[in-house]
Structure 1
Amino acid sequence: MVSTPAVVIAAPASGSGKTTLATGLIGALRRAGHTVAPFKVGPDYIDPGYHGLAAGRPGRNLDPVLVGAERVRPLYRHGTRGCDIAVVEGVMGLFDGRIDENQAQSVAEGSTAQIAALLGAPVVLVVDARGHSQSLAALLHGFATYDSEIRLGGVILNRVGSERHEQVLRAACERVGLPVLGALPRMAELAVPSRHLGLIPAIEHGGAARSAVDAMTELVAAHVDLGAIARLAASRVSGPSWDPTAELHALRDDVPGATDSAGGMSESVVWLRDSGSATYSDTDTPDAPGRRDGLPTATRSEVGTRDEVDDVRLAPGRLVSDDGPVIAIAGGAAFTFGYAEHRELLAAAGARVAVFDPLRDDLPTGTAGVVLPGGFPEEHAAELSANEPLLDGLRAAADAGIPVHAECAGLLYLTRSLDGHRMAGVVDAVAEFGPRLTLGYRDAVALTDSFLWTAGQRVRGHEFHRTRLVSAAAADSAWAWRAPDGETVREGAVIRRVHASYLHTHPAGNPATITGFVAAAADYTATRVDV
């Protein structure tokens, strides 16, 4: 089967305008009648939210560091199913990636160049034209010849100052034989608000995010040759598509507690009440597996279809299981970081996935497992603290033995307090906004057995936060890794069936954690449901 053609949007350096260009290109191609598959290189959670708004389908990540290079092509095929073109936004500069002092090859692991080579897709280089003139030819020559595996298919000039400036830059591109596929003028009004971790997530930015995406789409449609982009697109991806059910079936004989209960795809999501455009059906409300002693339940849970969801990375739809354990995943404005494959793997393992908003909801009825992903709880600490029934319910859930997997924002939510606001108190620590950003890949070793990991297991993860824990009581650490300065870092906590850590991992790279989690939730359901 011929793979979906793609273009990779790259740049010489960060800040060149890749996100504006990629998002606008996705939207413009969609308006032109294409079905576009959007991707982001690396672990970034924020840009795919804007991609998803532009494409009308989940934005996905391609990260060989977290999932392994061998899974990039299958995940690409999975994400492009039903699409006629893919747009892949790169990370940092074209050849920038994970820094490895022993690296011998020119293409760094996790770089945009590595993804372009794996996909066999051409690169469109976005150049911030401010300050460039004839010397642009030398820069382009270097990028075009640096690595023979990378095909530079053309250039898009961004932030062009005048018609004369554009003429000079086009002549420089022509000198090195690279076609100019577009020239965008300086448009300061397109700037999307940002804060300490980058852009504000689309789900938080609400209607302003939609307006920004529309403006990016208009800009690209007016100044980029969409026909030339479509003709340039190509890929050389062969082999099978990634399939969550097949992935878990391959593991079931090796993972303790894993079952042969796979039964769904990403459409298996239960939604609690939600703001925005939505149509709910009370008659489709699923029966919960049962009440848990001492646990509050949501007023009601609703299954619905939505014309445009706040976070289009989640795909709501029908339930595929009537009796699988309910896995509650925190969503909404405070918990925006997550991978589409996470929900797909949970559903394939037989779970019923219920997305709830900690700013206003209780735990869904029948919750047997809780996922608290990353996000920006520090921006919503007062509102999170005000939802006392959920804080009490989460504490009761942890005490009752419900498995809880918390990453970054989830860890903060489980502490005693965050910036002076009361949190759930499951983890005996105080969290606060810190003085500096912590960012980077980690080669971690699990220190404590849990329903997710076995002590001694080596895992690749990613840190991305500007908060810190203080006044933390002693607990079994979740992870250890070697810091760049050579010091050993012990991080996170394992408390009963709670695994909480700053470390983000990718479920597609660690599918056994899904079977372990769903098995633990099923075990809780079997032992705790009132009969």
Structure 2
Amino acid sequence: MSPPGLVIAAPASGSGKTIVMLGLLRALAGQGVRVQPFKNGPDYIDPAFHRAACGRASFNLDSWAMEPGLLDAITARGSDADLMLAEGSMGLFDGVAHAGASGTGATADLARRMGWPVVLVLDVSGQAQSAAATALGFARLDSALPFAGVILNRVASPRHERLVRAGMAAAGIAVLGALPRRADLALPERHLGLVQAVEHPDLDGRIDAYAAFVGAHVDLAALRAAAAGHLDTAAGTAARTDPPGQRIAIAQDAAFSFLYPHLLEGWRAAGAEILPFSPLADEAPAAEADLVWLPGGYPELYGGTIAAAGTFLAGLRRHAETRPVHGECGGYMVLGEALVDKSGAAHRMAGLLGLVTSHAQRKMHLGYRRATLKAPMANVAAGARMTGHEFHYATIVSQTDAPLAEVTDAEGNAIAETGSVRGRVTGSFFHWISTA
């Protein structure tokens, strides 16, 4: 059997599940529990917070974008843990199809597949016994969904807690904890979600505060007792994540950080050498690299710094003369001619693609993507089919190169953002999750 697990979910975004997740990871790790964190869905930011909280790499699990073998392979990376703990995305049943369907990407879909009971973080502000109706609906909507109970959040007073607990008891819903209202514990956010873990000056102290708060108000023993698991199926050994190069220079700093952890770890496991460098520190990619990869992130916040990074830009252009370069989302924008920030200031970029992007007129692009490559992307051959996710606010001002791929959304609708290819240089707005 694999280690038992739980899913920390909520009825909607903004309910407080991330703070509960981080507090639980740190509090349980402090008790000597080896906790393996996961994140449901395509979130780019939360896994870094999970790692900071418990010291173990966190991986995305996505029933829409990943085949069962890949899900099993990723889950198996926690086989030495005492407890699997997965943070949900959005609301518990929110995915690309109706509740109860498989392969939707919904948190409930993951919980059913893994046999991990759901712990629902429930914002009870503005209601008392009525909160039980919400909890009961989530517990009973899908009879195949394992449900452990609730953690009440934003409780106003001891009297408020008693009333809410009375409603839960009458409905037969277990209460695993009750968190008083604490506005000072909120995590700062920006347009793509939480501010990145690497940008917090006192992240460790902040997570310690979450752990103390959660540890004081959640029954950790009851929580662990509620965990359950599923029978391992050969640990997903048939699933491989083939690297797009043998020696991969990857940009890693506050401007370039959105690369799915399962890809990075999978490339290492397959024998690839990862050579990190920082464009913000004006470092050039390693001369011996056979591929340069620019992940997504927030280059629009550092346009002037990147434009002035002569060593980085010269090294990138020199590499592109003989070997592949690929950029995802923010990295794609940096490969272009120019990037216009939200103030309207234009910053000269690498000029390796005929792309100009702007944040001055923001428009959200969000959702799953399927892509069929029209040209090779590093050592990924033309014709390969990929799943991925797109989330950005940039607008394409001009795009003069050939399209990299045919791209559709989760419902099969054509997407105009096809990516670009010019010689050995490729880029796309979608973040690669897996290859079909």
Equivalent in the alignment of 2:328? 407
2:49 counterpart of 1:50: yes
Pair 1:395-2:317 in alignment: yes
Show the 5 A alignment for 1:126-525. 126-205=121-200, 207-243=201-237, 247-248=239-240, 325-360=246-281, 361-400=283-322, 402-419=323-340, 420-433=346-359, 434-481=361-408, 489-506=416-433, 509-510=434-435
Q: Distance in 1 between matches of 2:128 and 2:99?
A: 34
Whether 2:124 is the aligned partner of 1:125: answer: no
- The AA in structure 2 aligned to 1:160 is V
> Cα distance 1:406–1:225, how it changes in 2: closer, same or farther (>3 A)?
same
Distance 1:220 1:427, change over 3 A: same
Residues 25 and 221 of structure 1 are in contact (CA less than 8 Å); yes or no, is this contact kept in structure 2? yes
SS at match of 1:83: coil
* % identical equivalent positions: 42
Task: Give the direction of change, closer, same or farther, for the CA distance of 1:104–1:53 in structure 2 (3 Å limit).
Answer: closer
- Contact 1:95/1:107 (<8 A) preserved: no
Q: Which amino acid counterpart does residue 211 of structure 2 have in structure 1?
A: T
CA distance in 1, matches of 2:228, 2:413: 43
Shift of 1:210: 2.3
Aligned to 2:256, the other structure's residue is in SS state coil
C-alpha separation in 1, matches of 2:112 and 2:357: 42
Q: Secondary structure of 2:276's match?
A: strand
Q: Return the alpha-carbon distance in structure 2 between the equivalents of residues 485 and 180 of structure 1.
A: 41
Say whether the 8 Å CA contact 1:369–1:404 is kept in structure 2: yes
Amino acid of the structure 1 residue aligned with 2:385: R
Query: How far, CA to CA, are the matches of 2:402 and 2:413 in structure 1?
Result: 23
CA distance in 2, matches of 1:58, 1:242: 18
In the alignment, residue 40 of structure 2 is paired with which amino acid? V
Instruction: Provide the rounded CA distance (Å) in 1 between the counterparts of 2:415 and 2:59.
Output: 33
Classify the secondary structure of the residue corresponding to 2:43: coil
Query: 3-state DSSP class of the match of 1:382?
Result: helix
TM-score, normalised to structure 2, is 0.92
**Contact (CA 8 Å) 1:73, 1:119: kept in 2 or not?**
no
| 3-state SS of 2:148 partner | strand
Secondary structure of the corresponding residue to residue 50 of structure 2? helix
TM-score, normalisation: structure 1:
0.76
| Paired AA for residue 157 in structure 1 | L
Give the direction of change, closer, same or farther, for the CA distance of 1:480–1:110 in structure 2 (3 Å limit): closer
Change (3 A) 1:138 1:349: closer
What SS does the corresponding residue of 1:159 show, helix, strand or coil?
strand
* CA shift in 2, pair 1:449/1:108, >3 Å: closer
Taking a change above 3 Å as real, the CA distance of residues 27 and 162 of structure 1, as seen in their structure-2 partners, is same
Q: Is the 8 A contact 1:73 1:237 kept in 2?
A: no
Q: Does 1:3 align with 2:37?
A: no
CA RMSD of aligned residues (A): 2.3
Aligned residue number for residue 343 of structure 2:
none
SS of match in other structure, 2:235: coil
8 Å CA contact 2:21, 2:87 repeated in 1: yes
Question: Does the Cα contact within 8 Å between 1:447 and 1:480 map onto a contact in 2?
Answer: no
Structure 2 residue ranges without an equivalent (≥5): 341-345
CA deviations 1:410-445 (Å, max 9, x no partner) are 101111121211211111121211422111012333
| Offset of residue 458 of structure 1 | 3.3
Q: Distance in 1 between matches of 2:102 and 2:265?
A: 31
Distance 1:71 1:504 in 2: 17
CA contact under 8 A between 1:77 and 1:240: conserved in structure 2? no
Distance 1:483 1:122, change over 3 A: closer
1:5 is displaced (CA, Å) by 0.9
Looking at structure 2, the residues matched to 139 and 129 of structure 1 have their Cα atoms a distance apart, in angstroms, of: 10
User: CA shift at 1:70, angstroms?
Assistant: 4.0
Note the C-alpha offset of 1:456: 4.2
Write the letter of the residue equivalent to 2:305.
E
Q: Describe how 1:57-76 pairs up with structure 2 within 5 A.
A: 57-76=56-75
Query: 2-side partners of 1:42 and 1:29: how far apart?
Result: 24
CA contact (8 A) 1:483 1:489 kept: no
Unpaired segments ≥5 residues, structure 1: 259-323, 512-531
Q: Following the alignment from structure 2 to structure 1, what is the Cα–Cα distance between the partners of residues 380 and 257? A: 24
Residue 93 of structure 2 is aligned with which of 92, 95, 100?
95
Give the number of aligned pairs: 429
CA contact (8 A) 1:443 1:481 kept: yes
Deviation at 1:208, TM superposition (A): 2.9
**1:288: which partner in 2?**
none
Distance across 1 between alignment mates of 2:155 and 2:102: 30
The aligned residue for residue 27 of structure 1 is: 26
Question: Once the 2 structures are TM-superposed, how far is the Cα of residue 454 of structure 1 from its aligned partner?
Answer: 4.2
Q: Distance in 2 between matches of 1:200 and 1:44?
A: 13
